Amino acid sequence: MPMRSVRGFTLVELVMVIALSGIVLVLITTVLQRPLDSFFAQSRRSELVEQAAVALNRMSRDIRLAVPNSVRQSDEEDLKKYTLETLNIFEAGRYVSNRAGGESLRFSTEPSGCETTNERCDGFQVLDPDLQVEGARWLVVNNIGAVSGHAPTPGGNVWAYANPGVITPTDTTFSATSSDNETHISLSLPGGDFTFAYASPQRRFYLADQVVGYRCTPASEGGQLLRYTTKTLSASVPSVAPVGSVPVASHVTACSFAYQPGNPQRPGLVTLSLTLARDGESITLQRQVQVDNAP
């Protein structure tokens, strides 16, 4: 019978193919490793930048919605870079004085000297037929943001209630009636009487509904930027985040909030700084927000 030739790989050839394949794989891995590392690092940085930008945008929006001269930071020196609070504007407009011969507002159960159309001294007229008051908790007029040292001055600052003052009591309720292109706002005051200490030069008023705060916790406390809202006013900024605080940024390693109130010639300025780090990547974003404090 004729002999058939047998073809195949020898053991030496197979070993050489495996060795050459290993060398090629090592070369490919070496060449691609650095670009892959750079890609993943860039992805982590992008996620951190996006998270920090969203948090700073939200803070900026809340600061711009603040009642004039209501932005404040912690009075405690070791917490000053961690906590920032504002009183949120619910509605705003221009009022008509409810007293003869004056520019301010004074509310009383007695109708003497009233200038409202219905001869009631528990309210005032607003030049807006569509003003909404449902949900409002405070009425603010000409908050000058007066402070003594680091403490708010009673009667001149929304954070320190007094009568006369710049903000109505917390338990005040509001109702509105529209007619003839105007709105009459009535107040139900817990004490019955209240007088605003100062008249607004432009007769501006603000209705506020809640306190909005941000607290930045260091890495030892979880490394988060927390946002919270409350329905009560306090003369001091809380030293701990209230119950119900919501995280708006994680992986926080450092932050700072600095507020400069400004003066009649220039607006106030809030400087925000937020540092986030994860898996060896670290980014820092800064934002400055101008605050119109003209009451």
152 burial class (0-12, 13-18, 19+ CB within 10 angstroms)? buried
Percentage of the chain modeled with pLDDT above 90 = 37
pLDDT per residue as tens digits for the range 260-292:
887 767 888 999 999 999 888 899 999 999 998
d(CA 83, CA 255): 10
pLDDT per residue as tens digits for the range 189-247:
887 789 899 888 888 999 999 999 999 887 777 889 999 999 989 888 888 888 889 99
Mean pLDDT, range 23-29, rounded to an integer: 76
Average pLDDT, the chain: 84
**Three-state SS at 220:** helix
**Three-state SS at 126:** strand
Residue 137 has pLDDT above 90, yes or no: yes
| Residues 196, 105 contacting (CB under 8 angstroms) | yes
CB atoms within 10 A of CB 53: 15
CA 211, distance to chain mean position in Å, is 9
Residue 25 has pLDDT above 90, yes or no: no
Q: What is the DSSP letter of 180?
A: T
Q: Which pLDDT belongs to residue 101?
A: 62
d(CA 130, CA 132): 6
Q: Give the ranges where the chain is alpha helix by DSSP (H).
A: 11-64
Q: Which pLDDT belongs to residue 44?
A: 79
Residue 168 has pLDDT above 90, yes or no: yes
**Three-state SS at 192:** coil
| Residues 282, 88 contacting (CB under 8 angstroms) | no
Mean pLDDT, range 120-132, rounded to an integer: 82
